[in-house]
Amino acid sequence: MHPDPEVSTEHGRVRGRAEHGVAVFRGIPYAAPPFGPHRFCAPAPPPAWDGVRDATAFGPTAPKPPYPAPLDTLLPDPAVPGDDCLNLNVWTPDPGGAGLPVMVWIHGGSLRHGSSAVPTYDGTAFARDGVVLVSLNYRLGIEGFGWFPDAPANLGLRDQLAALEWVRRNIAAFGGDPDQVTVFGESAGAISLAGLLASPLSAGLMRRAVLQSGAPTAVPLDRADRTTRRIAARLGVPATVAAFAAADRDRLLRAQAEATGGSPLSDGAGFDLVVDGEVLPEDPATALMAGKGADIDLLMGTTTDEYRLWFVPDGTVDRIGPLTQRLALARFRVPRRAAAVYRKGRPGATPGEVLGALATDLLLRVPLGRLADARAARAESAGTYQYEFAWPSPVGGLGACHALEIGFVFDTLRDPATAALAGPDAPQSLADTMHADWIRFATTGAPGWPTWNQDRPVMTYGPETSAVVRAPRDAERRAWER
């Protein structure tokens, strides 16, 4: 392979780099910089360029505040300055090839953190194994998911659609098959992907999807402005696009960080997808349960101890006593029998651990299971597969926590950014298995275990081995039935 591979895209020619036997192109713009005349607007096409554009370094990341301590040590989140943040990266086995399967990664981060430059998301292993891997940046926080009456909603989701449209039009030049695109995402990336599956604007842009630790959700317009108004109050300005666009960017990020945060069970404001009547005509959960996206092969799952990333690092799990637990259960209308079943199944668990297990299932495992059931009930549905990641991290009592599986999927366990969450000695054999299953799904539509049926097969990764478990913790699942 030439050390400086070049490819022609619809907007101009790009020069990448040969690394570890694959070709890598970084920082390719798929839309115009979302600032100046494009601020708080739907993504516009990028300007074309003459000559050959250097694509050897990650492009600018979307404006974002850093993770708060102690998450900042567990979730490395590089920031690359610059306005041209609507960019993507491509790893390919052979830019001169053709017909290769394509996987597109949408990063997580609560819709306000993260980027495609996170080292854990390096696509080398996918390209090494015959896949064209694309990762992308999209607008975050108030710039991407704030709601204003005088601007389009779901700008970050519109960015993702624009990136997928770029893939559709350009990926053949990198050796990929535009008809064999699998989109996968984790946490907020999976929530975004569920929105894309439910959106009429995504037709023809993907064949398969993987939801990792994120379930379909969105809020109606009458609830969408809470976060915007909180930030506006911090800034001392009206909750309008004009006022926010005039604010100093660093000051805006500080106000955003002050006005948002907390765990999924706190009352802290955050960012959500919005049912806007255009990108999302209805709630994604409702749409998908009713059959939207039924023609898309779907792999989805969770980690066993999602809550530990939310509750353990700052000591929340130890501060939750019986009273706090009861108040949280009442607030989220958890059935009493569910709480009793979870306590019984976890002898010796603290109130915080029981509440965390309930939170994991309330927010993730239960809604994903219901979606799998709805798809399986339709004879015309494409394949539906479930997994659970159960290997526990040795780091700080995190267990099989939220985001832990990503380094196994990408086969990047030895990168220090991945080791921050997984430790230095995470089992390579487990990464080999999980990475291969994701590639098999992207290539064939079947990851290697039975599709979802009345037996409820779940591929369980670890802790000692990987195997299909039939209807795991079914008593807990049934306790949520009303």
pLDDT in tens, 278-311: 999 999 999 999 999 999 999 999 999 999 999 9
pLDDT for res 266: 59
* pLDDT at position 164 over 90: yes
Position 56 confidence tier, pLDDT thresholds 50, 70, 90: very high
pLDDT for res 263: 62
d(CA 449, CA 457): 8
d(CA 391, CA 467): 12
- Lowest average pLDDT, out of 1-15, 130-144, 423-437, goes to 1-15
Average pLDDT over residues 155-171: 98
Catalytic residue among 143, 306, 388, 476: 306
Residue 123 CB: number of other CB atoms within 10 A? 24
DSSP H/E element including 231: helix 226-235
Query: Residue 438, SS3?
Result: helix
| Active site (annotated) includes residue 381 | no
pLDDT for res 269: 77
pLDDT in tens, 302-358: 999 999 999 999 999 999 999 999 999 999 899 989 999 999 999 999 999 999 999
d(CA 62, CA 322): 41
Q: Read off the DSSP letter of residue 36.
A: G
DSSP H/E element including 386: strand 384-389
Position 136 confidence tier, pLDDT thresholds 50, 70, 90: very high
Catalytic residue among 107, 113, 402, 435: 402
The first and second tokens of residue 52, run together, are 């050959």
Cβ burial of 251 (10 Å; 0-12, 13-18, 19+) is exposed
**Residue 162: which of 228, 93, 85 has the closest Cα?**
85
d(CA 170, CA 7): 10
- Contact between 43 and 162 under an 8 Å Cβ cutoff? The reply is yes
d(CA 333, CA 324): 14
**Residue 78: which of 415, 434, 438, 427 has the closest Cα?**
415
Strand pairing class (12-15; 384-389): unpaired
pLDDT in tens, 57-89: 999 999 999 999 999 999 999 999 999 999 999
Alpha helices for 306-448 (secondary structure H)? 307-311, 316-319, 322-331, 336-344, 351-360, 366-376, 406-410, 416-422, 428-444
- Contact between 160 and 139 under an 8 Å Cβ cutoff? The reply is no
pLDDT for res 67: 94
d(CA 347, CA 359): 18
Catalytic residue among 110, 115, 116, 187: 187
For the chain, what is the radius of gyration of the CA atoms? 22
Q: Look up the pTM and report it.
A: 0.97
Average pLDDT over residues 200-225: 95
Query: Residue 299, SS3?
Result: strand
Q: Identify which has the larger pLDDT, 221 or 120.
A: 120
- Contact between 76 and 118 under an 8 Å Cβ cutoff? The reply is yes
Rounded to an integer, what is the distance from CA 389 to the centroid of its chain? Answer: 16
Cβ burial of 81 (10 Å; 0-12, 13-18, 19+) is exposed
Position 482 confidence tier, pLDDT thresholds 50, 70, 90: confident
Mean per-residue pLDDT over the chain, rounded = 96
pLDDT for res 338: 94
All domains of the chain in start order, with CATH: 6-478 (3.40.50.1820)
- Contact between 461 and 389 under an 8 Å Cβ cutoff? The reply is yes
Strand pairing class (87-92; 132-136): antiparallel
pLDDT for res 460: 98
pLDDT in tens, 224-259: 899 999 999 999 999 999 999 999 999 999 999 999
Cis, peptide link before residue 70, omega less than 30° from 0:
yes
Q: What single-letter amino acid sits at 294?
A: A
- Contact between 235 and 251 under an 8 Å Cβ cutoff? The reply is yes
Position 262 confidence tier, pLDDT thresholds 50, 70, 90: low
The first and second tokens of residue 125, run together, are 């292993």
The residues with which 17 forms a beta bridge, in sequence order, are 24
DSSP track, 154-178: -HHHHHHHHHHHHHHHHGGGGTEEE
| Active site (annotated) includes residue 113 | no
Order the strands of the 12-15 sheet from edge to edge. Answer: 6-9, 12-15, 52-54
Upper half-sphere CA count for residue 350 (Cβ side, 13 Å): 14
* Cα→Cα distances 104→7, 115, 116, Å: 19, 13, 11
pLDDT for res 223: 87
